[in-house]
């Protein structure tokens, strides 16, 4: 059973479109995250949710809107896609304890043309 899953794995779309990426975890964790990995492999936190409540929102354009219907799911919706949004997006989850390791999904490679 996959611990953290994301769909789709690949997403190719045109500028201006709206797209969503879904994430699910079956680990029973109560905190979930979205990270962005750019073309130079640099990873940066975008959002964090704890029990469906947004706790971190790092200077991300408001075209990006996370939604957590329950604590096992954290979806990412992106409006009006731009070329600079091309990246790999990783979902992760962890227990609430601060020192808990995070478990990452396989990533979604978004290409905006």
Partner 1 sequence: AQSVTQLGSHVSVSEGALVLLRCNYSSSVPPYLFWYVQYPNQGLQLLLKYTTGATLVKGINGFEAEFKKSETSFHLTKPSAHMSDAAEYFCAVIRQPGRRALTFGSGTRLQVQP
* Interface contacts to partner 1, rule CB under 8 A: 4, 31, 33, 35, 40-45, 48, 50, 55-56, 58, 90, 92, 94, 96, 98-107
- What minimum distance in Å lies between the beta carbon of 46 and partner 1? 9
At 65, list the tokens. 């809107």
- What minimum distance in Å lies between the beta carbon of 18 and partner 1? 25
Omega of the bond prior to 46 within 30 degrees of 0, cis?
no
Exposure string of 77-106, with b = 16+ CB inside 10 Å and e = fewer, is: ebeebeeebbbbbbbbbbeeeeeeebebbe
- What minimum distance in Å lies between the beta carbon of 21 and partner 1? 13
- Kindly tell me which of 40 and 84 has the beta carbon lying closer to partner 1: 40
- Kindly tell me which of 53 and 82 has the beta carbon lying closer to partner 1: 53
- What minimum distance in Å lies between the beta carbon of 51 and partner 1? 12
Beta bridge partners of 24: 5, 73
CA nearest to 51, candidates 32, 27, 77:
32
- Kindly tell me which of 18 and 53 has the beta carbon lying closer to partner 1: 53
């Amino acid at each position: 059973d996959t611990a953290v899953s994301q769909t789709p794995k690949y997403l190719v779309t045109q500028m201006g479109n709206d797209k969503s990426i879904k994430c699910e975890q079956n680990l029973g964790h109560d905190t979930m995250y979205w990270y962005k990995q750019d073309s130079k492999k640099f990873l940066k936190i975008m959002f964090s949710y704890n029990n469906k409540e947004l706790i971190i929102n790092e200077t991300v354009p408001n075209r990006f809107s996370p939604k957590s219907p329950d604590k096992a799911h954290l979806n990412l919706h992106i409006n009006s896609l731009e070329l600079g949004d091309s990246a790999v997006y990783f979902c992760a989850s962890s227990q609430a304890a601060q020192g808990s390791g995070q478990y990452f999904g396989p990533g979604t490679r978004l290409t905006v043309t």
